[in-house]
Amino acid sequence: MRRAWLLASGGIALAVIAGWAAVAYSDAGSVQGLAQARAAAAQLAQTLDRLEDERAIENLQRSYGYFVDKALWKETADLFADDGTLEIGGRGVFVGKARVLQYLKFLAPQGLTYGTMFNHMQLQPIVTIAPDGQTAKGRWHFLAEVGEYQKSSRWGMGTYENEYVKQNGVWKIKTLHAYFRMYVNYADGWAKSAVPNTRPEKDLPPDRAPTVTYDTYPSTFIPPYHYKNPVTGR
């Protein structure tokens, strides 16, 4: 709702600026006034472009979450740039669409099967667009419910610190890095149990070693922030 209002009001503002520029130019022949109006219109147009980029990136990341929920691995891999990378937990870095797809299929077969649940909520996005509008970074919090009927059930949560790239006008995932914060058995809860972080698999060796080695809950690790403090600028 807020973004729709911004876009609508932005369009109105552009029209008002254009009208004001025409009046200013015809009324006083003011080249300076027209230049100022054009500069203001260009600045506003750039702001609207960045808002549209932010919306597209949020939709891209949410699409990732919905596809993962349904084990639609091919559709998930298609969200990545050709040279995109995936790093989830501590299993290491997988480079390129083919390797991303291979990793995802390692988790489970294509498409949900009876008794399998991947519920994957992505929350609290902070998206930072580069000034040229061609690259971006995003931080998300995720909450997961995963399990197999009458076999296992777990709560999970963590943080994404991702990078995105715009190719031919379309935003794609350049780097997806999911930092696990906690996985625990559902029945025990986080007061009584904790599942260790994953490590590289012998049956699926990564293309690169993990970017960082860390332990999950009850240990504490805070993934580095890609953005500055919005108040202090640090």
> What is the DSSP code string of 78-116?
TTEEEEEEEEETTS-EEESHHHHHHHHHHHS-SS--TTE
Average pLDDT for residues 201-214, to the nearest whole number? 97
Domain that holds residue 13: 2-185
Distance (Å, rounded) from C-alpha 95 to C-alpha 177?
Answer: 12
What is residue 51's predicted lDDT score, i.e. its pLDDT?
93
204 in any annotated domain: no
Supply the pTM of this predicted model. Answer: 0.84
Q: Is residue 71 part of a domain?
A: yes
Flag whether 174 is in a domain: yes
The predicted model gives 149-163 an average pLDDT of 96
Kind plus residue range of the DSSP H or E element containing 4: helix 2-28
Mean pLDDT, the chain, integer: 89
**Is there a domain that residue 195 lies in?**
no
Listed range (8-17, 102-111, 120-129) with the worst mean pLDDT: 8-17
Give the chain's domain count.
1
Domain assignment present for residue 215? The answer is: no
Place of tokens 């254009």: 18
With 90 as the cut, is the pLDDT of residue 224 above it?
Answer: yes
pLDDT for position 12: 47
- Write down the pLDDT at residue 46: 81
Domain annotation covers residue 206 = no
- Give the CATH number of the domain where residue 32 resides: 3.10.450.50
Which residues, other chains included, contact 192 with Cβ-Cβ below 8 Å and sequence gap of 6+?
A: none
Average pLDDT over residues 1-25: 49
| Burial per residue of 191-221, b for 16 or more beta-carbon CB atoms within 10 angstroms, e otherwise | eeebeebeeeeeeeebeeebbeebebbeeeb
The residue assigned the tokens 């040229």 is 132
- Provide mean pLDDT across the span 2-11: 49
